[in-house]
Amino acid sequence: MTKATTGMKGDGYYDAHSSFQSDVAASGAALLKQAVDATRLPADGGVTVADYGCGEGKNSMAIVGSALDLLAGRGATEPSVLHSDLPTNDWDSLAANLSGAGSYLEKHPNARALFAPRGFFERVTARASVTLGTSGSAAHWLSRQPAGLHMPDALYRSDAPPAERDKILAQAASDWLDFLTARADELQPGGVLLVQMLGSDGNADPVRVSAAGLLKLMNECARQMIEDGDVPQDAYAAYCFPVVPRTIEEAAAPVNGPLADRLELLHCGLTAVPSPYHVALEKTGDVEAFATGYTAFTRAFSETSLRQGLFSTGKGDPAALADRFFALMVEKLTANPGDYPFDDLTLAITVRRR
């Protein structure tokens, strides 16, 4: 089984290049307040907040900090915080973030942080132990590459031919059911989970799929490397970029179906979050800063997966091939800055454990 990712690019790189994900979290501020208000707090005031797919932690500090402020406002004392991600996440950076400026521990010195290095498609902590769960820009990652994929010219949900798209959507549906089943096991009765992830408005015409413009650019770079002999065509055809934006119907399906007796749907909706790289370009006209910033943002979340699925399958040095891929991105963005919009639709879903 090929894992979809081993995590983000480490050593502070993801934290330095994730202002879009930070904006996504900020766009959910009102939903976080509603989630905390809807949570049934344990009688002794002790609460556990879990952040699933926490990454290196800069954005995790911010969302957990907001959650702790809101929970303190409701009388919660001595909170525990569980930061959960893959075992291969950059946990050193997370530990450094916890003790640095910007840590929620500055304002909430009574809080205690725990790390849960386990994939979120299974239970990562004790049953019925989590009061409030959050997950930002993470649950759209697949657990693995869909089996038997053959996509000779595409990388993503938006461009996949129908039969291949069905395989991608089947993997995404099974992963999402696993994700929510594990959270249903972990949430306390009355506990609430808020997940923000990439979305799609599936029924509209034309369909909007978050990040489709960026994946078109990534696909052009990959195709060029195949033409140059750097990446084998058969490895590329068996690979999709393992992130799948969901529609409202797809996101709500497990809660309306197999998990209906355990989870209650409180909210499921789409919000457009502008790309900060395109906003800055419009304001300043600085194409060079746009091309390098948009590429660094992309590199931060995609490099490990691309290396595993594409760059380590050929004859060349995977690190050098990664450099080449992202240099191509900068070239193409500099030449045609208007051609590759990010066009996000963030999907947010809030559920409560019955």
Task: State the residues that interact with ligand SAM by CB under 6 A.
Answer: 5, 7-8, 18, 21, 25, 53-55, 59-60, 85-86, 89, 119-121, 136-138, 141, 143, 301
What is the DSSP annotation of 58-103?
A: HHHHHHHHHHHHHHHHTT-EEEEEEEEE-TTS-HHHHHHHHHSTT-
Task: Give the number of other Cβ atoms within 10 Å of residue 62's Cβ.
Answer: 16
CB of 196 to ligand SAM, least distance (A): 8
CA distance 119 to 138: 11
Q: DSSP 3-state assignment of 231?
A: coil
CA distance 137 to 134: 10
- Cis peptide upstream of residue 206 (ω within 30 degrees of 0): yes
CB of 134 to ligand SAM, least distance (A): 8
CB of 88 to ligand SAM, least distance (A): 8
Comparing CB distances to ligand SAM, the nearer of 130 and 225 is: 130
Beta strands in the chain (DSSP E): 46-52, 77-85, 112-117, 130-136, 187-198, 263-271, 346-353
Comparing CB distances to ligand SAM, the nearer of 4 and 329 is: 4
CB of 341 to ligand SAM, least distance (A): 19
Comparing CB distances to ligand SAM, the nearer of 2 and 256 is: 2
Instruction: Residue 300: name the closest of 103, 63, 22 by CA.
Output: 22
Comparing CB distances to ligand SAM, the nearer of 114 and 163 is: 114
Comparing CB distances to ligand SAM, the nearer of 246 and 324 is: 246
Comparing CB distances to ligand SAM, the nearer of 9 and 324 is: 9
CB of 120 to ligand SAM, least distance (A): 4
Residues 262/352, Cβ–Cβ less than 8 Å = no
Residues 187/126, Cβ–Cβ less than 8 Å = no
**Maximum Cα interatomic distance, the chain, rounded to a whole number of Å:** 64
CB of 15 to ligand SAM, least distance (A): 8
